[in-house]
Structure 1
Amino acid sequence: MPEISPQQSSAPIGCTYWKWCGKVVAAHQCRHLPVLLALLGSSFETVRDKAMRELTEFGPGIIDSLRLVRRNSAARRAALVMLAEFGWNHIPAEDLVMLRRLIRMKQQGEAPESLHMVLPGGAWFALPTTDQAAVLDALELTDPVPATMRMGFALWQGAESERMPTDMWTSRKGDFWTENSQLYGHSLCPEVFVTPVLDGWTLVFCRNEALGGMTPGSTSAHSRYELYQRMEQLSQRFGTAHWYEQFIIDDYADTTWSQWCIARDGEIRMHCVSSDDVYVYRCEEHDPVDTLAELKAWMEANDHERQPRSAQDEHDRAAAYAAMLHERNGDDRLPPEGQEPDPAELDDRFPAADCAQDLVFGAYAAAQRLSINLESLGPDTTVEGTGVLTVPHSLRHLLRRGALPI
């Protein structure tokens, strides 16, 4: 077990074994801290994981003690993971140098991996450009950090700090806990992943409202105004701009909310929302899109690969949804904005139509046709340049933290 002297660390920590009374002691005085630091080097994963969870409950006062873990010890890797979760600024400079070298090495030969539809919960922009600097400037992104695609996609798919018990810190009393909860208690992840160029497209992944101030799942007039304004500006700069959003709103029922918006030359060409129904919120084409057949034809006409899709399952899902519209409306007219169908009616007559249509008209399906298929990413994908993790300028005050796979 390591010995911690007052000169090395006297920071206040909240010992987890005093959790019920909120005991705060100096790090060098806690007799439990050296034991847990030693257990970070256990050969058993469950023991290491338990030790890490217990240590994070002590609060940021253990940071100096984690930095003291010997470089050649078995506990060093776990200590670095914990330092990353408390904040990237706490990682020692010599370790940062090694991490940057490792990231650069892996970036050279890295192939993107397929992203399955059920995993992500967030939004992404798709821009047909190879100018990463222009993308960062257009979206007001700053402080880029080199990142592998594995890092960026893991962050977007939900790899956040799982061991940081901010709810426990918030529930405790006293200045020590209040200070920690304010530092770590924000739910918004500020990191935005800008990919290398993939088959001619630069993708920008964010966790919902991190860019543009959009509330997840919101189609309010204010949210749409902000979205349209940003999309118009991006399309003026890059010719075309795509935005997609998707997340699971009911794990048990496997219900998905998704939106997608396409802008060209400063105009919003299409904004489509897919949830229990399909809504066309805005369309600035010469011929308005009012029916399901017209929407399907528009997607086929704007297929960037210009390849017909003959998959039987796609046809069946669209047909099931069209049948539901015919039953309700007498034709395949799309429901007007704000008109909510009777859920009981949908369940009784067409139990699968109200969710299967998302696989045809949702964000993932639209991205397959209109920009880049995230499920087909792999060794055959053309990759140019390297990716970066960055933050919006307005979120620079938030702590950058979290351990990510490299």
Structure 2
Amino acid sequence: MDRDLVRDLGVPDRREAAADALVALGSDAVERLVRELAQEDSPVDWRPIAAVMGRIGEADAFDSLLRALASASSESSRKRLGFAFSGFGAAAIDRYTTALSHPVPHVRRMAVRGFQRCGDAGTSAVSALLPLLGDPDREVAQQVQDALILQGEHVVPLLRRIRELGPGRQRARALTMLAELGGEPALSRSDVAAIERLIRVKLPDDRPEGMWACWNHWMAVPGGDQAGIMDALGLVDPRPVTFALGNDIVDTDSHGFGPEDPYDGYERVFVTPELDGWTLVLGAWCDPCGEERGPDVLRLCTELSVRYGRAHAYYYGGQGDGSAWIVAEHGSVVRRYCETGEADDELLTLGEPLPFERARRVELGLTPEWDAAQEDQDAEDEWRWAAHDMAADLAHSYGVSPLHIGPGTPSQGTGVIALTPYGLAHGVPAGAYRI
């Protein structure tokens, strides 16, 4: 077969004619197409080759692709072959089922992906994939887990059966999937008790662990009156957690909230034990600058400062998404400031700059006193960029920052996950978390 015909698939104005010619050749074109896919330095993208093989059909192309995938020696080659191998659709279900028992893990993984790309393959997909939850290759088992979760809640009874009766090698991932699909209500009473027991076992040796979410929101109150702070904030149903579990829940929740559900992400918070003289409340519900939570967080900080002398709230975007802070003392707002790149940031400004802000300006070579309306534009831009990343350091200078704590941070008590008024009214999302 003319090699140029395959290479023409990489030339836009020749691609369609070349594809039609190759499809007409049928099985005679397969081996040349497979060799081209296996070449990691091929100038032809895998997509038009895979499209041609899909038109030729799995009856002629599947076995050739499987052999090449099993013997591929480089990651790039495996990826190119794997994309084509997993794209035959529902017509290849029986072949994918057979490939699930192939001795090469990458073939098994691509067979699972083939099921995923079939869409809703129903009962046949679930029965074929379930045994691989215990696959000795972690990547294969993870691919199966992801594929079965996409099948939805109708797999829950089967997962519960695995938890009850085994096989043992499938039980751990079955528990994770039940948590992902339905949360605690999907778990048996014995599973819930086992998880709570594991947390209790870990707590005596648990040490502070720094928070590093993409979007970090927290409140900080001096002292260790965890129960009193929760009561003042209206937080209920506290449940002991390790730092790893508390941080993982906060991080996951911070990725979930959005305009499609105004309550998603606000349902719960992680209330730390006393850390070097401060108690922190972590979670998107503590957002000091958002339209939904900002006004209430300002009020709560003010009320907490009446009882505890001081109360702060912070936002720090770990991916360069800005900073904000509220500092309240003895019932008054000392400062609120926000730099997140939004047009109305300056409308949130309250009070005079904090000593830390003034000192930072001096470090930048700027005047410690400033008026944004009269400031030199270059100086103002330099300040804005600096303030964009300032919240964590400012919090550290005035007390304790969750991004600066670690195993050496003095700690007294036990952290808890507690429901906010949103969580009490709307429940919490399902999910599996790191304990």
More strand per residue:
1
More helix per residue:
2
2:205 to 87, 93, 109: 109
Q: Distance in 1 between matches of 2:134 and 2:311?
A: 49
Deviations 1:54-87 (A, max 9, x none): 1111111211111111345111111111111121
2:332 to 232, 246, 267: 267
Q: Distance in 2 between matches of 1:399 and 1:378?
A: 28
On the 8 A contact 2:358/2:368 being kept in 1, the answer is no
Q: Distance in 1 between matches of 2:371 and 2:172?
A: 55
Residues matched between the structures, number: 314
TM-score by length of 2: 0.62
1:334 to 363, 370, 379: 370
How big is the alpha-carbon RMSD for the aligned residues of Structure 1 and Structure 2?
3.7
Structure 1 residues 103 and 161 mapped into 2: Cα distance closer, same or farther (>3 Å)? farther
On the 8 A contact 2:184/2:192 being kept in 1, the answer is no
**What are the ranges of 5 or more consecutive residues in structure 2 without an aligned counterpart?**
1-96, 98-114
TM-score by length of 1: 0.67
Q: Distance in 2 between matches of 1:115 and 1:381?
A: 13
Q: Distance in 1 between matches of 2:313 and 2:179?
A: 31
Q: CA deviation at 1:235?
A: 1.3
What's the secondary structure of 2:169's corresponding residue?
Answer: coil
What's the secondary structure of 2:151's corresponding residue?
Answer: coil
Q: Is 1:389–2:417 an aligned residue pair?
A: yes
* Aligned residue type for 1:282: L
Q: CA deviation at 1:260?
A: 0.8
Q: CA deviation at 1:272?
A: 2.1
On the 8 A contact 1:121/1:158 being kept in 2, the answer is no
Q: Which residue is equivalent to 1:282?
A: 350
What's the secondary structure of 1:256's corresponding residue?
Answer: coil
Q: Distance in 1 between matches of 2:137 and 2:254?
A: 23
Query: Which has the larger Rg?
Result: 2
Deviations 1:122-161 (A, max 9, x none): 3101111322221221111122222101111122234789
Structure 1 residues 319 and 140 mapped into 2: Cα distance closer, same or farther (>3 Å)? same
Structure 1 residues 243 and 340 mapped into 2: Cα distance closer, same or farther (>3 Å)? farther
On the 8 A contact 1:120/1:158 being kept in 2, the answer is no
Q: Which residue is equivalent to 1:73?
A: 168
Q: CA deviation at 1:194?
A: 0.8
Q: Distance in 2 between matches of 1:96 and 1:42?
A: 25
* Aligned residue type for 2:130: L
On the 8 A contact 1:120/1:247 being kept in 2, the answer is yes
* Aligned residue type for 1:134: G
Q: Which residue is equivalent to 1:401?
A: 430
1:242 to 307, 312, 320: 312
Alignment of 1:3-402 (within 5 A): 19=119, 30-69=123-162, 70-71=165-166, 73-86=168-181, 87-115=183-211, 119-158=213-252, 187-188=264-265, 190-207=267-284, 210-211=285-286, 217-218=289-290, 225-248=295-318, 251=319, 255-275=320-340, 281-283=349-351, 288-289=352-353, 295-296=355-356, 318-320=362-364, 322-323=365-366, 333-336=369-372, 346=378, 354-359=384-389, 362-396=390-424, 397-402=426-431
Q: CA deviation at 1:190?
A: 2.0
Q: Which has the higher contact order (CA 8 A, sep 6+)?
A: 1
Q: Distance in 2 between matches of 1:202 and 1:226?
A: 19
